[in-house]
Amino acid sequence: MKRNIVKIDEEKCTGCGLCVDACHEGALQMVNGKARLVSESYCDGLGACLPECPAGAITIEEREADAFNEEAVKEHMEARKSEAPKTLACGCPGTHARTIERKDEAMPACGPAGQSIQAASQLRQWPCQIKLVPVNAPYFDNAQLLVAADCTAYAYAGVHNDFMRGKITVIGCPKLDDIDYTEKLTGILKSHEIKSVTVLRMEVPCCGGIVNAVKQALINSGKMIPWRIVTVSTDGKIIEE
């Protein structure tokens, strides 16, 4: 029969594994570091995996394919429950999504004379790249969200204590990633009760892309979520808040 079914471009696939987690029918698996459609009868053709792919390697095509078999999917998913969880040998971030427990404590400003202090990380989840975070990750529930440009962590020394502490942090560079984060951020805002959004950007023009993506995602979500923009100068100062 002719119907809609997923198609994977293996040249574009980075092997992150996010699409496998997003497929509730178990139609996709990682094979030799690439996502593969393992059975046409498991794929419903609805494309829940599409928005999770950061590389744009998945599309929907209409072609001759086996019919979707709901009973076979149920048996397949029951069999998978009995299997031990696996992670990719490559250690791709998408296979290691997890929450990191942190004590909500401020970091000391300085130590005794002549001694350096190991600053405590305030990252509360992994992965943190916007392209890689799963939209349905449970750590977004009731979170205060920090959307930060990559360079802010290097320009502003206190980013962990002043901005990341107590928040779920996602980072990206709209210029280097060359993608629009709007769709991913919209999915996060729609799927979870986000308490607030802080956008941490650099003063450079290209950082306007991350601000615009957050603005549009807030509009698309249809939710009234408190948000603010903080701008960091290239010499590491807060110039606008």
What single-letter DSSP state applies at residue 206?
G
**Bridge partners (DSSP) listed for residue 63:** 3
| Together in a domain, 138 and 169 | yes
Q: What burial letters (b/e) apply to 31-50, b meaning 16+ CB within 10 Å?
A: eeebbebbbbbbbbeebebb
**Bridge partners (DSSP) listed for residue 149:** 172
Residue 81 has a pLDDT of 65
Helix axes 182-191, 208-221, angle to 10 degrees: 40
Cα–Cα distance, 58 to 83 (Å, whole number): 26
Arithmetic mean of pLDDT over the chain: 85
| Together in a domain, 73 and 101 | no
75 belongs to a structural domain: yes
Cα–Cα distance, 4 to 44 (Å, whole number): 8
| Together in a domain, 70 and 7 | yes
112 belongs to a structural domain: no
Tell me whether the omega of the peptide bond preceding residue 174 falls within 30 degrees of 0, making it cis: no
Q: Which of 114, 117, 136, 133 is nearest to 125 (CA)?
A: 133
110 belongs to a structural domain: no
| Together in a domain, 125 and 155 | yes
Lowest mean pLDDT among 27-31, 100-104, 132-136: 100-104
126 belongs to a structural domain: yes
Token reading at 176? 């280097």
| Together in a domain, 168 and 51 | no
Question: Whole domain around residue 84: which residue ranges?
Answer: 2-94
CA 55 to chain centre: 13
Rounded to an integer, the average pLDDT of 8-23 is 86
Q: List CB contacts of 32: < 8 A, sequence separation 6 or more.
A: none
| Together in a domain, 73 and 138 | no
Q: Which of 238, 45, 235 is nearest to 154 (CA)?
A: 235
| Together in a domain, 233 and 199 | yes
| Together in a domain, 147 and 206 | yes
| Three-class SS state of 9 | coil
* Total tally of structural domains belonging to the chain: 2
* Helices of type H across the chain: 18-22, 70-81, 152-155, 159, 174-177, 182-191, 208-221
| Together in a domain, 89 and 189 | no
The CATH number that applies at residue 64 is 3.30.70.20
| Together in a domain, 101 and 85 | no
Residue 164 has a pLDDT of 96
Q: Which of 89, 123, 121, 88 is nearest to 107 (CA)?
A: 121
The CATH number that applies at residue 208 is 3.40.50
| Together in a domain, 62 and 157 | no
pLDDT in tens, 113-170: 555 556 789 999 989 999 888 888 889 999 999 999 999 999 999 999 999 999 999 9
pTM for the complete prediction?
0.61
pLDDT in tens, 182-222: 989 999 999 899 999 999 999 999 999 999 999 999 999 99
111 belongs to a structural domain: no
13 has pLDDT over 60:
yes
| Together in a domain, 61 and 127 | no
pLDDT in tens, 53-86: 888 899 999 999 999 999 999 888 888 765 544 4
